[in-house]
Amino acid sequence: MVEGKPKSREELKQTLKRIDGKGYKFYRSLKGCYAWPKYLLYVDHVQSDPFAPPSRLRVRVPQKVAGFPKDTYHNKSREIALRDFLTRCFHDACKKFCGGKRGTGNSGLITIEKPGQEILERNSVIVNESFVEARFTAGLPAHGRRIDGKTAETMFSKEIPRIVEQSLIFQNLDGEKLYEHVEVAEDADYLRSRLEEMGLIAFVADGSILPRASGVDPRPMDRRLAVPFRSPESLRVKVELPNRGLVTGMGIPKGVTLIVGGGYHGKSTLLKALELGVYNHIPGDGRELVVTNPSAVKVRAEDGRRIEQVNLTPFISNLPRGQTTEAFSTENASGSTSQAANIIEALEMGAKVLLIDEDTSATNLMFRDRRMQELVPKDREPITTFIDKVRQLYLEKDVSTVIVVGSSGEYFDVADCVICMVEYVPYDLTREARKVAEKYPSERRQEGGESFGEVVSRIPLPQSFRFRRPGRKLKASVKGVHLARLGDHVLNLWALEQLVDIGQTRAIVDALVYAGKYADGKRSLREIVEQVLRDIEEKGLDVLSPKISGGYAAFRKFELAAAINRLPTLKVRLERKG
Ligand code: ADP
Ligand code: MG
């Protein structure tokens, strides 16, 4: 934070004149706060050279000038959505008014984190009753390693003021779009908050567009090609929303739900929409009113992941040579053990809904048929398959499951609801599936035992969070949404399909370091993670780092726990029973 009396813009101009043509290091003298007619400009961090990560700046516009009506941010849903909206406006304005790269490295570039399809809490823009603040980056311009003061002067005195004018002043914004943004988010949050009392784990509004432009482009599929969602009559529910009014759509009830149907008929697309229904989506996304229980976790097979002392006994026990699975560890898990660990770890964190797609599952964890049971008796098969556990999960632990299965009708016996996709349209085939199950009784033997079994709490040891080599500064870098580096360690998050924004990954990486202060060898993993989330709830995402930045987006406890579970440094002890 830069404190003290702000300097004048004239002073900034003079400084730039003075350092023009000098070595890059002289840019350091820019650090500080400057008073502009309509805002304060903070230069928080100055990059060390033209190729280094760009300098970090902030503008703070008093509400007297910015003029955002209270109802654009008067509750948490609206505030988060407004901040998200303003980040997008700022980003667009940068594109419009910044002259782009000029000179060496990232010289001349003014930019802000670009949000995707989700409306997430971000620290790129802060809004409160006294001001609106945007945090952005600028590549301070240079030719070679010499300061280009003239271009810098243009950036500070022409481009940034225009960007601010066009993105942070209410009366210059498209009011209709702004209100749509906050109202859509408020409706989605409201809808999500109503699921529990309606006995639902998810809601998919009629007319939703679920398919995406492509596997790598999360924007909606062209509306001329996409088949809009239409609920089966029997699953249709009505909800009155604060802004949109009455909407109808498919309610997925608690319990065990199957999504069946022929290949390519839209099963995975529906499940994917449910996975991301834990987040709000921007107007026009097509999934604005697709909402899922916030504690829904997608679980999949993840060959090669590390596992640290997870009690896998509900799914795997009696390995060959007397290996036990009460506290199973490996550096390189198989398909079935990795998926079993992913399930158990989600339960350990309090997941109330599991989302599973056969496309990404280990078949041998999903079920064993009668013939295999005959050939390989249970006492020689360490795995208890999910089909024998899924009802126990619901009845004993109130954990619902939605599972995509196109290949095996064995699951009919354990399902409460069967949704069949036919040419992208869902049908409720629950009754038909029951009839089929009666007509062709399964000869499978139940192998699930008396009860699901115990989910044991684990206590991370303090050294799990020591990433720094003694005497060295900790270097952390985020390479992409699913890949980060923490000191000497690579953190591979490729299997976390509900991680969507690089800002989340940045926040998670810093949260890993932050979490260390709660890892006292007494708190459980869940307690540590929930404490971190509480701190963020109370103090905002900024709590994660002493540096002021705008690069964070909010994440869930499940993704932070998943990152901890994949740490090469994680060491735990099991909570003693009783
Ligand atoms: P499945 O899992 O049943 O094999 P997918 O969900 O992968 O099928 O969908 C197959 C293809 O159909 C995907 O390319 C997807 O984009 C497209 N698709 C899915 N839903 C729709 C829809 N409602 N309208 C148009 N195309 C769709
Ligand atoms: Mg599929």
Q: Are 121 and 189 in contact (CB under 8 A)?
A: no
Residue 421 alpha carbon to ligand 1 centre in Å: 10
Token output for 41 = 């400009």
Residue 322 CB less than 6 A away from ligand 1: no
User: Is a pLDDT exceeding 70 seen at residue 31?
Assistant: yes
- pLDDT grade, residue 3 (50/70/90)? low
Q: Per-residue pLDDT tens for 490-500?
A: 999 999 999 99
Ligand nearest to the CA of 421: 1
Q: Which band of pLDDT confidence, cut at 50, 70 and 90, is reported for residue 321?
A: confident
Which atom of ligand 1 sits closest to the CA of residue 404?
Answer: 2
Chain mean pLDDT for the chain: 96
Shortest-distance ligand to the CA of residue 266 = 1
- Residue 318 near residue 155 (C-beta atoms within 8 A): no
Is 287 close to ligand 1, i.e. is its CB under 6 Å away? no
Residue 305 near ligand 1, beta carbon < 6 Å: no
Which of 259, 264, 404 to mutate to test ligand 1, by most ligand atoms within 8 A of the CB atom?
A: 264
CA-269 nearest atom, ligand 1:
6
Q: What is the pLDDT of residues 529-555, one digit of tens each?
A: 999 999 999 999 999 999 999 999 999
Q: Examine the pLDDT at 2 and tell me if it is beyond 60.
A: no
The answer to whether 67 and 74 have CB atoms below 8 angstroms apart is no
Q: What is the pLDDT of residues 403-433, one digit of tens each?
A: 999 888 999 999 999 999 999 999 999 999 9
11-27 pLDDT, tens digit each: 999 999 999 999 999 99
Q: How far apart are CA 5 and CA 453, in angstroms?
A: 63
Classify 338 as helix, strand or coil. helix
Output the pLDDT for position 510: 97
Q: Which atom of ligand 1 is nearest to the CA of 262?
A: 3
Cα–Cα distance for residue pair 357/406, rounded to 1 Å: 10
For residue 160, pLDDT over 90 is answered with yes
Distances (CA, A) of 37 to 10, 65, 165: 12, 10, 11
The pLDDT of residue 125: 98
Q: Whose alpha carbon is nearest atom 10 of ligand 1?
A: 264
What is the mean predicted confidence (pLDDT) over 265-281? 98
Which residues, other chains included, contact 376 with Cβ-Cβ below 8 Å and sequence gap of 6+?
Answer: 368
Tell whether ligand 1 has an atom less than 6 A from the beta carbon of residue 267: yes
**Pocket of ligand 1 contains residue 227 by CB under 6 Å:** yes
Check whether 489 has a pLDDT greater than 70.
Answer: yes
Mean pLDDT, range 273-278, rounded to an integer: 98
424 lines ligand 1 (CB under 6 A): yes
Q: pLDDT value at position 284?
A: 98
Closest atom of ligand 1 to CA, residue 421: 3
- Confirm or reject: Cβ of 259 under 6 Å from ligand 1: no
Find out whether the beta carbon of 161 lies less than 6 Å from any atom of ligand 1.
Answer: no
Question: What percentage of the chain exceeds 70 in pLDDT?
Answer: 99
Burial track 80-105 (b if 16+ CB lie within 10 A, e otherwise): bbbbbbbbbbbbebbeebbeeebbbb
